[in-house]
Amino acid sequence: MLLSTGLGGFGAFWKPQLAALEQRFRVIVYDHRGCGANAGPLPNGYAIAHMADDVVEILDAAGVGRCHFAGHALGGLVGLELALKSPERLATLTLVNAWAAVSLHTLRCFEARLALLRHVGVEAYVKAQPIFLYSAAHAAANAEAIDREVAHAIAAFQGEETLLRRVSALSAFDVRDRLGEIAVPTLVAASRDDVLAPWTASRDLAERLPAAELWMAESGGHAFTVVDPKPFNDVLLHFLAKGGMPASSSNAADGLS
């Protein structure tokens, strides 16, 4: 099972899922190129296709021919690209708060956040991030934990140029006309109160992908898999149990070569 995170780029986003998944699968998590353990400059023209190539590189390095893939937001776009380029590498696909083409609403959110970054600085950009990740109730009830998250994110910030190239990649991604080509069994999951990625984008994915099912959380925001992981974990494990791929008892955490 390979887990791909969103714009933040850190594989640790999936920590609330690891214990449940590692009981049945070898689990691979990774920091995206340009982020965390794989920090470094990104090339001009960096695109979602390059991110999908990174996943193939990771699978090859780990000796994995075929995997279950789960991606959150930008990570979901990577999964869609992989399903189009290398469907033989996927047993199942799980898309969490993803989209076939970015909505104007989501772009507006990114533009506001990037304006903070350019005109105020990294600290302001990162401090605003929980507003887009969490529901107000969760953020208010977990203020100290979120303060710790913010401090860590400031210290490990991926860099303005890297962030801009990653946002450009997700903004340019558009596979609306190719969804019918994706035959991989797919779980589409979203939260109805996500303020960053409208749940309707997930509904549209589920309606247009030939082998998809939709599961909706009523609350939890963009990071609902972190806010209340058990319902999602249970649905994901049930979906994977139908995927027809034998489980392994080992686990791994691999980065890019």
Q: Is 118 exposed, middle or buried (0-12, 13-18, 19+ CB in 10 A)?
A: exposed
Amino acid (one-letter) located at 159: G
Query: pLDDT, tens digit, for every residue of 1-44?
Result: 999 999 999 999 999 999 999 999 999 999 999 999 999 999 99
Query: pLDDT, tens digit, for every residue of 113-152?
Result: 999 999 999 999 999 999 999 999 999 999 999 999 999 9
Average pLDDT over residues 66-90: 98
Which residues lie across from 95 on neighbouring strands?
A: 71, 188
Per-residue confidence (pLDDT) for residue 242, from 0 to 100: 84
Average pLDDT of the chain to the nearest whole number: 93
| pTM assigned to the model | 0.92
| pLDDT above 80 (res 243) | no
DSSP element (H, E) containing 72: strand 67-72
Q: Residue 92 region, left (φ>0) first, then alpha (ψ -120 to 50), else beta?
A: beta
Helices (H) and strands (E) in the chain, counts: 11, 6
Pairing of strands 28-29, 2-4: parallel
